[in-house]
Amino acid sequence: MKPSLLHDTIFENIASSNGVFTSHFHDTYTIGLTHDGMFESSVHGHKTSRAYQYATRIINPGEVHYGDSHAWQYTNFYPTTQLLSNLYEQMYGESKMIIFEKHIIEDMSLYGLLRRFFHSVYAKEDAMSSEIKLMEALSYLITHHAHRTVAYPFTCKAKKSISMVVEYIHENLENEILLDELSTTAMLSKYHFVRLFKDHMGITPHQYILSERIYKAKSLVLEGSSLAHAALQAGFSDQSHFIRNFRKIYGYSPKTLLQKSNFILYS
């Protein structure tokens, strides 16, 4: 049996990426290693940083980010807020959400620990071995590089109306979602709703929906769905629309997900 800590966690290993990543976010953390090449990373509210060989890259849940890659070879995984919060509680006795303010970390010890963990996952080592290496890497990351914490479970800073809209979006991703429906849910005019949503979320409602649909479709493909079925279930009107927008966010075609040796949905 695989570690419950990693249930439904996505891993990706990319040999070479060249191109621009458009603004998007993830509900999870992004923790990744740059093995070669360069990635110019821009996170909303922070100055642009560059990741070179042996650097670790950290994005907090919900942070809007984008970037530009040049012969970038990297490995990422997407641990949940709960995973890191549970580990923090085991270490310090209180439930907190960890915030990393430095997004590019040059620490060879951290790189080595994370690389050992990634290798254990891709080599399909036994569950205990992978889980121990996971805890070693993340506990080092928390001890040496966590900048601050906030109470967990995390309470969204957005007003109640925006929280209701986010819930509505998650429940209706497979359907057509209209601006009228979102503004009605928020009990605001369309103009004021769009402004309020962008102020709180950092991106437009359309960009938010697109990011959520892309992530859902990616998970479905890794679970075994065809590209066409995943696109339909995630609310895309056609497969080409899905492929085009997926590439803008991840820098590679969703067809690459079919190379199972490079992608893992840990379940």
- pLDDT at residue 188 above 90? no
Query: 74-83 burial by CB neighbour count: b if 16+ within 10 A, else e?
Result: bbbbbbbbbb
At 158, the pLDDT band (50, 70, 90 cuts) reads: low
Residue range 13-41, pLDDT digits in tens: 999 999 899 888 898 999 999 999 999 98
Q: What does the block give as tokens for 144?
A: 């040496």
Rounded mean pLDDT of 203-207?
90
CATH code: domain of residue 62: 2.60.120.280
The predicted structure's pLDDT at residue 60: 93
The domain containing residue 173 runs over which residues? 160-255
From residue 50, alpha-carbon distances to 39, 42, 71, 135, 201 in Å are 6, 9, 13, 27, 24
Does residue 147 have a pLDDT over 80?
yes
* Cβ-Cβ contacts under 8 Å for 161 (sequence gap 6 or more): 185, 186, 187, 188, 193, 196
Say what the pTM is. 0.83
State the DSSP string of 18-35. EEEEEEE--SS-EEEEEE
Say yes or no: 28 and 136 in one domain: yes
Q: Does 244 share its domain with 117? A: no
pLDDT of 156: 46
Do 137 and 56 sit in the same domain of this protein?
A: yes
**Secondary structure letter of residue 108 according to DSSP:** H
Work out the mean pLDDT of the chain and round it to a whole number. 89
Does residue 223 sit within a domain? yes
Query: So what's the pLDDT on residue 152?
Result: 66
When divided into structural domains, the chain yields a total of 2
Report the percent of the chain where pLDDT is more than 70.
Answer: 95
| 2-6, 10-14, 38-42: least confidently modelled range | 2-6
